[in-house]
Structure 1
Amino acid sequence: MTEVIKEKKNSNVMNINDLEKEGIELQIAIETQKTGWKINKSPSTVDDPSVLKTYLTTPPVKRIDLHFPLGIDLTARNMKGVTIKDALDTIYKTYKKRSDDELPDPFLLGFEWDKEESWTRLVVHLGKNSTAPVEKSGKKKK
């Protein structure tokens, strides 16, 4: 007798609406604040590409809305849990054809979750300068 083994769904990935009903609060990955990422460049250009695999929120969610202060709303989706890369890809698709001079605030500063305003979305914060840590160039060569 042969059994078909179905791929198990990641049981810790939640639906954002269920979190709201149950009152489970989101925490945003702190790594989103140090990406040094320009929103019209590919997400692979972040200073530390290892952060791209990190879940955007804890607990991980299947989809989340991203709200920009200028009124644009986007949705990042991943049935296995939205990662930082999923969010950056969603933003990049919207802004990739814009030149640097069209973007008053081209750098991602991070995300903010305000349950009072909306449980199901994150506010995207942009700025004029990168928040990436600056490397010290005082290294000695052998």
Structure 2
Amino acid sequence: MSEPLTLSKVDSAVDGLSSSPPTKEHDLASSPPKDRGHRRGSSRSSVSYPGVRNITELEEEGVELQLAVETQSTGWKINTSSSTVEDKEILKKPLTTPPVRKIDLHFPLGLEVTARNMRGVTIKDALDAIHKAFKKRSDDELDAAYLKGFQWDKEESWTRLIVHLTTQPTGQIGGGGGGKKKKSKGSDE
């Protein structure tokens, strides 16, 4: 009595296994290329937003970049999130005029990061790209930890900005230093 049950169970298991792998292999073989192909296609597609340019095209045409002056007064610490910037409105502003899809940010010691946004690189995109490179570094590892601003030097390189750093926060935000100054003023009076 148990033999026919065992044989039928074994037969059904063998049948199930022999028929299952080809369909799984077929599914695996056909699904990922469609997904990958779709993802590649969308990233390479020529979706264009009005006014947003490719920086190499600007170089070929000789169109000069203008930088947002708001980057000079962020007082932002490079190993902290861009959300720590006091004036959140400047994060939405384009980094350059005309807006570009991507731009390289070059540090004087040789490090280079790229800020990207198909709708035009914003100040937030640039700060996020810098933060990604420095987020795991502690304060004592950084000689100059505050963003002083960006510089575009067409003589050196048309397609990248030079990042300037300083040891003290500049501009509106004082970070931890601003609080200390207020406390020391209160104790002096």
Same fold flag (TM > 0.5): yes
Query: Residue deviations 1:46-90, cap 9 Å, x none?
Result: 121110000000000000000000100111000000000000000
Secondary structure class of the residue paired with 1:105: coil
User: Pick from 168, 171, 183: which aligns with 1:132?
Assistant: 171
User: Pick from 60, 63, 76: which aligns with 1:24?
Assistant: 63
Runs of 4+ aligned structure 1 residues displaced above 3 Å come to: none
User: What residue is the counterpart of 1:115 in the other structure?
Assistant: 154
Distance 2:164 2:133 in 1: 15
Structure 2 matches for 1:95-114, cutoff 5 A? 95-114=134-153
User: Pick from 86, 90, 106: which aligns with 2:129?
Assistant: 90
User: Pick from 33, 39, 43: which aligns with 2:72?
Assistant: 33
Question: In the comparison of the two structures, how many residue pairs are matched?
Answer: 131
Once superposed, what is the RMSD of the aligned Cα atoms?
A: 1.8
Using the aligned pairs only, state the percent identity.
Answer: 64
Secondary structure class of the residue paired with 2:162: strand
TM-score normalised over the length of structure 1: 0.88
Distance 2:154 2:50 in 1: 24
Q: Which one has the bigger strand percentage?
A: 1
Structure 1 unaligned spans of 5+: 1-7, 138-142
Q: Which one has the bigger helix percentage?
A: 2
Distance 2:57 2:50 in 1: 13
* 1:47–1:132 Cα contact (<8 Å) kept: no
Higher relative contact order (CA 8 A, sep 6+): 1
